Amino acid sequence: MWKLTQEFIHKFIPAFEHAWLAYIAGALVAALALLAFASLFAGLASYVERRIAGRIMSRVGPNRVGPQGLFQFVADGLKLVMKEDLVPAGADPILFRIAPYFVFAGMFGTFVVLPFGAHLVAADLDVGIFYLMAITSFVVLGIMLGGWSSNSKWSLFGGLRSAAQIISYEIPAGIALLSVAIFAGTLSTQGIINAQGGLPWDWFAFHSPFSLVAFVIYFIAALAEGNRTPFDLPEAESELVAGYCTEYSGFRFVVFFFAEWANLWIMSAISVLCFLGGWKIPFVNAPEAYSGWLWILLGFVIFSVKTLALVTVVMQLRWTLPRFRLDQMMNLCWKYLIPGAFAALLGTMTVMALFSWDSPAGIAIRFCTFLVGALVVLYYIWRIVANYRADSANYKKLTGQSMWYPPWRLP
């Protein structure tokens, strides 16, 4: 993306004739654009999550600020920013103050390699996936620092739980992504997307049953790395009060939560770009086709729709599932996910060696795996509809009111 901004700057501001100045300016503009996107997404995601939680729990959710409560996140953010920034007595003042920025840096650094469309990426690094795995480790550093420096035992528990959890789950996540890197033959995020096709059976998730397993394992591990239910142990409200952010208030608290919600986009976007075809438009496979703005925009829309669908699933999981216990969480990782990830890696390698991508057997395997995935999604939708029907009939009998509201006229 900075290439585009660089050209733009060269064209309109002649003062930036020095390459390094233009480089810095381009990087700054790209960073600002990404920051704007991340904060807008985090804010809107917090609003949408609360509305979805409201619907799931048969209550209303925020609906007072702005149309349908859309500006609730602005009000919340303002309120938190205006609050006193407390540093508890006995806390390590420097570490306590900088801890949230480690979390923020770890989260925001990933946006550098996250693609949004055909040419929409801040920097298409050769080591994209590797960079992603490395930079997300920053988050655990921040959380641990925050937990330790708060001088609160509950925070300490939260920080240590988080360290154990995130470091453990990076292993299955990394191995699952390794199989993707083997398919694509590159670590670059754009390269991985380019190696996939637009149609579902050309996605890496459906390359073979093993890669489907790898996708599921990556998704679970990403949930754990993002501290989302059922892996929200570091901030388990009913056990640790609020975990590592117990003692934080005001702006620093906002930073923690900003990172958490922006992380929703990150984990879903990585899943989409590695396993679900990224921004590829169906039937348009040649990389040269993505040159016009219209194509890029269409690719961006497709990418966003896939990502937002995953984000919705993550939100739904959060409001449906209970939480693991610490030892169960570790068991799941070390006894099931890591061996599973290795098996999936070996399996995909075998399938790759035996059946090439375009051979009839390879296509047949991909198509069958896709059918399995499609059936799972259909079953999921059918359960939602069936449950909804049963409950709305029951509700109508008791209250005489309908449970259905059109989405634009929700209470």
Partner 1 sequence: MIKQELKNIDELRILREPVEGEMLVNMGPQHPSTHGVLNFLLVTDGEVMHRAVPHIGYLHRGIEKLAEQTEYAGFMPFTDRIDYLAAMAANQAYAMAVEKLAGYVVPERAEFLRVIACELNRIASHLVATGSMAMDIGAVTPFIHWIREREYINEITEELCGSRLTYNYCRIGGVSHDLPATLAGKILLWLDHFEPIIDEFDRLITHNEIFVHRLADVCAISAQNATGYGLVGPNLRASGVDWDLRRDKPYSVYDRFDFNIVLGKGFRGAVGDSYDRFVVRVLEMRESCKILRQALVALPAGEIRSKVPRVIKPPVGETYAAVEAPRGELGYYVVSDGVSSKPYRVKIRTGSFTAMSIIESLSKGVMIADLVAIIGSLDVVAPEVDR
Q: Closer to partner 1 at the Cβ: 334 or 357?
A: 334
Phi, psi of 119 (to 5 degrees): -115, 10
What is the smallest separation between the CB atom of 320 and partner 1, expressed in angstroms? 6
Among 137, 356, 359, 394, binds partner 1 (CB under 8 A): 394
Q: Considering only CA atoms, which of 365, 330, 335 is closest in space to residue 350?
A: 365
Lookup: tokens for 301: 């829309």
Q: Which stretch binds partner 1 (CB under 8 A): 12-20, 33-41, 215-223, 386-394?
A: 386-394
Q: Considering only CA atoms, which of 67, 110, 396 is closest in space to residue 273?
A: 110
Among 83, 325, 335, 389, binds partner 1 (CB under 8 A): 325
What is the smallest separation between the CB atom of 330 and partner 1, expressed in angstroms? 11
What is the smallest separation between the CB atom of 243 and partner 1, expressed in angstroms? 12
Q: Distance between CA 175 and CA 334 in Å, rounded?
A: 13
Residue 350 interacts with partner 1 (CB under 8 A)? no
Helix (H) or strand (E) holding 407: none
Q: Distance between CA 118 and CA 1 in Å, rounded?
A: 10
- Kindly identify the residues of this chain, within the stretch 213-272, that bind partner 1 according to CB under 8 A: 229-230, 232-233, 236-241
Q: Closer to partner 1 at the Cβ: 27 or 330?
A: 330
What distances in angstroms separate CA 143 from CA 227, 240, 285, one per listed residue? 11, 14, 42
- Kindly identify the residues of this chain, within the stretch 38-57, that bind partner 1 according to CB under 8 A: 53, 56-57
Q: Closer to partner 1 at the Cβ: 135 or 329?
A: 329
Q: Dihedral (C-alpha) 159, 162, 167, 173: value to the nearest 10 degrees? A: -160
Residue 86 interacts with partner 1 (CB under 8 A)? no
Q: Closer to partner 1 at the Cβ: 251 or 395?
A: 395
Among 82, 397, 404, 407, binds partner 1 (CB under 8 A): 397
Q: Distance between CA 254 and CA 27 in Å, rounded?
A: 25
Residue 389 interacts with partner 1 (CB under 8 A)? no
Q: Radius of gyration over alpha carbons of the chain, in Å?
A: 23
Q: Distance between CA 226 and CA 220 in Å, rounded?
A: 10
Q: Closer to partner 1 at the Cβ: 79 or 396?
A: 396
Phi, psi of 61 (to 5 degrees): 90, 175
Applying CB under 8 A, which residues contact partner 1? 53, 56-59, 153-154, 157, 160-161, 229-230, 232-233, 236-241, 319-328, 387, 390-391, 394-395, 397-398
